[in-house]
Amino acid sequence: MIDDVVTLDSDEEGGKPDSTPTAAASGSDVVIEYNHSDYADLLTPAPAIKPRMIPTSVIKSAPPTVTKLPKRPGSMPPFALFSQEMRTKLQTEEPDIGFGDLGRRLGEMWHSLKEEEKEDYRKRAREVADAKMKSWKETVNSIPKHKQMQMEQNQQPR
């Protein structure tokens, strides 16, 4: 048997809900009707909670994990080294030069170089390629062999 009945919403149409409790005919049942203004505080937004800022000096990041074997570096073309060095010089001399014209001028400049100058670029390009290869080998050797095998299996086409 239910001793107390509390209603939170009025089903009566047209009537204004009463905010005072009313006693039922039996005397033992108490009916409390919902007053719509009682829950007005639930409609207002909660105060914003600011996230706690953690200084970046406290955060320790894990070393980056390698998921794929790094691509083996190729040789460095001497013209690419020449272009890297001369492109900025040409762009500062002629700021309005277009991409195609810039490439054409670099090609003309390369072909007008003496063989000794080209040999200097060839030697330096080999040094750059060797340095990249050494760095690649160190990176690959730092990865455990079982991880290397897993990465190679993941890279194979299926």
Q: What span, in angstroms and rounded, lies between the C-alpha atoms of 40 and 19? A: 14
Q: Of residues 19 and 76, which shows the higher confidence score?
A: 76
Q: What homologous superfamily does CATH list for 78-147?
A: High mobility group box domain (1.10.30.10)
pLDDT of the residue at 90? 93
pLDDT(42) > 70: no
Domain ranges of the chain: 4-36, 78-147
pLDDT of the residue at 24? 47
Kindly report the pTM of this predicted structure.
0.50
Burial class for 121, CB neighbours closer than 10 Å (0-12, 13-18, 19+): buried
Lowest mean pLDDT: which of 11-20, 57-66, 136-145? 11-20
pLDDT of the residue at 5? 65
pLDDT of the residue at 46? 58
pLDDT of the residue at 146? 80
Q: What span, in angstroms and rounded, lies between the C-alpha atoms of 28 and 3? A: 6
Q: What span, in angstroms and rounded, lies between the C-alpha atoms of 133 and 73? A: 6
- What percent of the chain stands above pLDDT 90? 37
Query: How does the average pLDDT of the chain come out, rounded?
Result: 76
Residue 70: pLDDT band with limits 50, 70, 90: confident
pLDDT(34) > 60: no
Q: What span, in angstroms and rounded, lies between the C-alpha atoms of 59 and 28? A: 63
